[in-house]
Amino acid sequence: MPGTSGSGEEGAADGVADGAAGGGADSGAPGALRRTLTFRDLLVYGLLFIAPMAPVGIFGTLQARSHGAVTAVYLVATLAMACTASSYAQMVRVAPRAGSVYAYARAGLGEGAGFVAGWMAMLDYLLIPAVAYLFSGIALHALVPAVHPWVWTALAVVVTTLLNLAGVRTAARVGFAVLAMEIVVLAVFVVSAVVVLVAHGAQRGWAAPLTGEGGFSVGAVLSAVSVAVLSYLGFDAIASFAEEAGGGADRVARALLTCLVVAGVLFAVQTYLAALLMPVSAAELAARPAEQGTAFYATVDSAVGGWLRDLVAVSKAVGAAFAALAGQAAAGRLLFAMARDRRLPGAMSKVDAASGAPRRALLGAAMVTLVAAVGAARRDDGLDQLSSIVNVGALTAFGLLHASVLGWFWIRGRRGDRRPGRSGAPGDGAGAPSLLWHAVVPLLGLAVVIAVVVEASATAQLVGGVWLVVGLVVLAVQYGGRARA
């Protein structure tokens, strides 16, 4: 593995000083990404990765865990994730570079922490698309049983990879069409649910999705929040396109915050309506864990009809493949950024002159995802195995993101490490740090991350721990090679 240039502190600081260097070039040289993405494009990538109907798969689990207060769970989860969105918005102005949390930890904590953040985020960005591809393959197999799930899974990888290789704008246009389809399906559900509620009334009190059935339980809601925050994983992919966004860091920060708010509203509305229509109580659902995964579909089927259940299922199948498209694009940018800083093989830092895409980094991400997704598709328990390990990498990276805010604004800044030329505007890395935005918010975000990691499955914790150890070994080898040089 190649070494890095410059000392840890100097290299990280220089990365901030360089900011968006190379952001507008069109050549195939390292670091030459094109600034072509609009605010809408950024929002599409974030919402596409999250998926507008992300709660569908875990609705039953959250309803059971929260004692019926599933909408309250999503309101609290949105507020909790707002801390992470805020930290992203602060750091994207400090280090407006591809690579997202890798660049931010490198700026705020130094090169070593930056590598660890990038390494852990890599686990998330490579495996979440694999889960989405596999989900799509399974759903399409249910529609066309003659074709094995692994064939559909591989086909989804190939199609979306070709779109990503065609360039970020092409992928964004196709992604917008898919996102529009998903939102239309969600709108059909909302209208249908309202019609049923007006005509026949609710199955429980109108406030029950907010207060719970039989009384509000803080502990039950917080336990469910630890699962619900996983619905938001992916909105941070927006930050990976910092060097391709016209309008620079401010547009990226605005897109991050807007994406989170829009997702929170969509999640709250659909879970509120579904909870009112659900034919069984939260207690009954808790006693039947096997039915929790399909609770949303069962509710739609009983309240509206099988046609809407099938429409939601098809939307989820197609949407999953294109959520993976956004995830693969973000993974490619992360690999590109780490390769450009000589933390990964330099070949992945090349940008295709025709499309403006980091072609080799995208192909590298696609190959890893293809192997993981197809391998899981050939196992009966593949989806469970993959799903259980994808979250710890992202959560660890989130933790380092919050630490980066503290490190940049309270430690490095006071040491005089901030680079000249900042405007002094809130969040740009200059001027006096804010107690609220640069201390309270990141500390709250860090507390949420720790709570969710503690709640993660033993398998996820083990895989995350092993991946971290491997990353630390790679980091030690790189530092050793540099010292000998």
Question: Using alpha carbons only, what angle is made at residue 162 by residues 116 and 329, rounded to the nearest 5 degrees?
Answer: 25
In terms of Cβ atoms closer than 10 Å to its own Cβ (0-12, 13-18, 19+), residue 381 is exposed
Confidence of residue 413 (pLDDT cuts 50, 70, 90): low
- Of 184 and 56, the structure prediction assigns the larger pLDDT to 184
State pLDDT tens for residues 141-164: 877 889 998 999 999 999 999 999
Q: Which token pair is 162?
A: 């070709």
pLDDT of residue 8: 44
Please tell me the distance from the alpha carbon of residue 207 to that of residue 212, in angstroms, as a whole number. 8
State pLDDT tens for residues 318-340: 898 898 998 899 899 999 999 99
Average pLDDT, the chain: 85
State pLDDT tens for residues 62-83: 999 999 999 999 999 999 899 9
- Classify residue 148 as left (phi > 0), alpha (psi -120 to 50) or beta: beta
pLDDT of residue 228: 87
Axis crossing angle, helix 359-377 with helix 306-340, rounded to the nearest 10 = 130
Measured in whole angstroms, the distance separating CA 105 from the mean position of its chain's CA atoms is 17
pLDDT of residue 126: 87
State pLDDT tens for residues 167-177: 888 888 899 99
Question: Would you say 342 and 74 are in contact if contact means Cβ atoms under 8 Å apart?
Answer: no
Secondary structure (3-state) at 186: helix
Please tell me the distance from the alpha carbon of residue 1 to that of residue 98, in angstroms, as a whole number. 21
- Of 31 and 64, the structure prediction assigns the larger pLDDT to 64
State pLDDT tens for residues 187-231: 999 999 999 999 999 999 999 999 999 889 988 898 888 888 878
Q: Which token pair is 293?
A: 């995964």
Question: Would you say 22 and 33 are in contact if contact means Cβ atoms under 8 Å apart?
Answer: yes
Please tell me the distance from the alpha carbon of residue 292 to that of residue 63, in angstroms, as a whole number. 9
